[in-house]
Amino acid sequence: MLGAAGIGGPIGRAFLLVGLVGALFGFVSCVMGMRQKDEKLLRLSLRFATLSAVSAVGAFMAMEYAMITRDFSLDYIQKVGSRSTPALYNFTAVWSALEGSILMWLLALALMTAWIAWRYRAKVTDPLVATALATMFVTAFFFFLLTIGPADPFAPGESGVTDGPGPNPLLQNHILVLFHPPILYIGYVGFTIPFAFAIGALVTGRLGEGWLLETRRWALFSWGFLTFGIVLGGWWSYEVLGWSGVWAWDPVENASLLPWITGTAYIHSVLVQERRGMLRVWNLSLLAATFSLTILGTFLTRSGILNSVHAFSESDIGPYLLTFFAIVVVVSLVLIGWRGDRLRSPGIIDSPMSREGAFLANNVLFSVFAFVVLLGTVFPLIVEALQNRQIVVGEPFFDSLATPIGIVMLFLMCIAPVLPWRKASTELLSQRLFWPAWCGVAALAVAVLLGATGLEPLLTFALGGFATGAALRQLVLATRRQKWRGLVGRANGGMIVHIGVIMISVALAASNSYTRSQELTLAKGVPASFGGHTFELKGFVEESDARRTSIKVDVSIDGGKSYRPAIHKFTSMGQNVGTPSVKSSWSKDIYLTLEPPVKPTSNEAKIKVFIKPMMTWMWAGGILMAIGTVLSAFPGRRRRPTDPVSAPVPTALTGTSP
């Protein structure tokens, strides 16, 4: 055993070093190849990208090997490994702390770099592609550097350690730990690709329309993963954390939301560029902002200056990430300042009442939203730096600003899908919006009949109905003309994504406004009732293994099936972790948590009951968003990608603009 254990460290370290060198050489071969116009050198970059990717995979597997063989000679395994962790959670323990999560980031990044190098191997002689590839190599180099320097997952630990505490109990409580982090990371890391192409465009000072299509596709790919990762995170929070919520505006959550917001702005405004050739510099800026925000978010959450439930252990990774953030921002700004005017198009938008006008409004809203989230997240740091005073900015702040922004976004989703490009007349609008608007009135009427109160949720329901009507109208018209093809393509797939977003908004409005909760002390055999349901304590179930001791209570809801909220006490950490139990239906969830202290001998248990309307709609909306994203990635019936979407600007015209 001792012979096999201990080799994971050196092997992993070796892989990381090879990867670092591969990324460095890849960068050099791209840059030198471009300078010397040496095709051979440029083609070599594919080899180096492959080398980095193989090394990253190797390092990751070495880490898994060390984890699975419980190689306690490594510091990281001492921190998150334990002999009593079940196989699944032991496997996922690799990404349960700082070093491992950087390693997973690196894995995704190196694989994507190799994929891009391979995908564009025929076009690598194009300076735009070569610059993009060089950018990806730099990023990969930086992350390899992190894993060799401040976030070394293979650092040797103290000798003589034979067991560890295992991962954080919250990370060994639900199967989603296997899916949420990797999916989120693919989305997060994926935004490197569009950013790299943006840098390529800025450095070369030109935008091929092929660039546009590719970049949009990659942005959509990353956006889809990020979206799905965020939804899964919400579901995980709901299933595991026991406070019956999905989103707490925690700094780590905000860090994932920020690139999502700017990414969403981009995938909308890029359509204006595609159709009208406008907003080029703005779109490049959005991509740069998205990528910078992923790095900033990583800095904020990994450096220990902000803490959260997701808190990673403190390390000296902060200065590295901050420096990289500064480099990214400075390079982007200098390039935009230097090249921006050359890329700008002199087109005009005729009327605010047009598709492009709506996209502009959308972008303004999303930018303000991103600003709100960023400001709220870092404001405590600003106050502390300037006034040396502690304050907290939390959920009520974000809620009170995000709600009006969300309502205006819903309103845009009502009218934007029916707006034509260039200019709409009032008659046209009144024709096209008529039935969608009645859908909104119908939704409002149903909500009022069901007893809904409060202006904000009612507006959300009404606008939600309206926007669903507008989206369905587009889908119906498209499928009528193109049969099943009316469901694919970005406009139609986008409408399906919209319906998903609307379902999530409606579910959030309903569950935030109409959740009922009560604490019940149940005695065995005596049903208690709350919110029209009865709850009866049937008994206690006690289980224990090397990892934890669990107490579950059997609670029958309305005399039917039993639900088992539990409290687990993890032996190594001495930490209590509750696990809720949820009865779901399409109209409402009944969410039970067991409250400490639990004394099985007393035949009494205290439970907390939340009755939350429409939670199922939220998950359905998330799934619909994922389906819609996939559908919109398939090319619909549209012009060939090489057709210029906007004619090159005649030189005569350029002279007239000031």
Partner 1 sequence: MASAEAMPLSARLKSWPMWMFMAIVTACLLAVGAGREAGPLTQQERIDVITKRLACPTCDGESVFVSQASAAVNIKNEVARQVASGQRNDEQIVAHIEERFGGRVLLVPRATGFDSLVWVLPVSVLVCSVAGLAAAFRRWRREQGLVPSDDDRAMVARLLAEEPEDHDEVPR
Partner 2 sequence: MNDQENLAVVNVAPVARSRRSSLIAAAVGVVVALFFVVLVVSSPEDRESAASPLLGNPAPAVKSTTLDDAQFELSRRRGSWVMFNFFNSTCVPCRQEHPELVAFHEAQASVATPTELYSIINDDSDNAVRAFFEANNGDWPKVRDDDGSIAVAFGVAKVPETWIIDPNGFVRMRFIGAVTRDLLTEKVTELQTAFEGM
In contact, 180 and 229? CB cutoff 8 Å: yes
- Beta strands 516-523 and 528-530: pairing type? unpaired
Handedness of CA 394, 400, 401, 407 (dihedral sign): positive
Binds 275: which of partner 2, partner 1, none (CB < 5-8 Å by kind): partner 1
Stretch that binds partner 1, among 67-75, 137-145, 216-224, 455-463 (CB under 8 A): 455-463
207 binds partner 2 (CB under 8 A): yes
Report long-range pairs for 121-128 (Cβ below 8 Å, ≥24 apart): 121/43, 121/46, 124/42, 124/43, 124/45, 124/46, 125/39, 125/42, 127/34, 127/200, 127/203, 127/204, 128/197, 128/200, 128/201, 128/203, 128/204, 128/206, 128/208, 128/211
Binds 651: which of partner 1, partner 2, none (CB < 5-8 Å by kind): partner 2
Minimal distance in Å, beta carbon 176 to partner 1?
18
In contact, 128 and 204? CB cutoff 8 Å: yes
Q: Toward partner 2, which CB reaches closer, 119 or 174?
A: 119
304 binds partner 2 (CB under 8 A): yes
Binding pattern for the stretch 506-545 against partner 1, x by CB under 8 A and - elsewhere = ----------xxxx----------x---------------
206 binds partner 2 (CB under 8 A): yes
Q: Is 304 left (phi over 0), alpha (psi -120 to 50) or beta?
A: left
Q: Toward partner 2, which CB reaches closer, 480 or 639?
A: 639
Whose tokens are 């990867």? That residue is 19
Binds 574: which of partner 2, partner 1, none (CB < 5-8 Å by kind): partner 2
If you ran DSSP here, which 8-state letter would residue 122 be given? Answer: G
If you ran DSSP here, which 8-state letter would residue 536 be given? Answer: E
Binding pattern for the stretch 55-94 against partner 1, x by CB under 8 A and - elsewhere = ----------------------------------------
Helix (H, G, I), strand (E, B) or coil at 594: strand
Non-local CB neighbours of 493 within 8 Å, separated by 6+ positions: 487, 628, 629, 630, 631, 632, 633, 634, 636
Instruction: Number of residues interacting with partner 1: please give it, by CB under 8 A.
Output: 99
The upper half-sphere exposure of residue 359, i.e. CA atoms within 13 Å in the direction of its Cβ, equals 24
Answer for which of 17, 322, 331, 541 binds partner 2 (CB under 8 A) is 322
d(CA 535, CA 557): 5
The first and second tokens of residue 422, run together, are: 């260039």
Minimal distance in Å, beta carbon 409 to partner 2?
24
In contact, 598 and 553? CB cutoff 8 Å: yes
Answer for which of 136, 452, 502, 594 binds partner 1 (CB under 8 A) is 452
Give residues 253-272 in contact with partner 1 (rule: CB under 8 A): 271
Answer for which of 180, 276, 548, 608 binds partner 1 (CB under 8 A) is 608
Minimal distance in Å, beta carbon 510 to partner 1?
13
Q: Toward partner 2, which CB reaches closer, 180 or 280?
A: 280
Instruction: Number of residues interacting with partner 2: please give it, by CB under 8 A.
Output: 56
Give residues 68-127 in contact with partner 2 (rule: CB under 8 A): 122-123, 125-126
End-to-end CA distance of the chain: 76
Return the closest-CA partner of residue 92 out of 202, 152, 168, 144: 168
Give residues 629-658 in contact with partner 2 (rule: CB under 8 A): 642, 644, 646, 648-649, 651, 654-655, 657-658
Q: Which residues bind partner 2 (CB under 8 A)?
A: 122-123, 125-126, 128, 206-211, 277, 280-281, 299, 303-305, 314, 318, 322, 325-326, 329-330, 333-334, 336-346, 378, 381-382, 384-386, 390, 574, 642, 644, 646, 648-649, 651, 654-655, 657-658
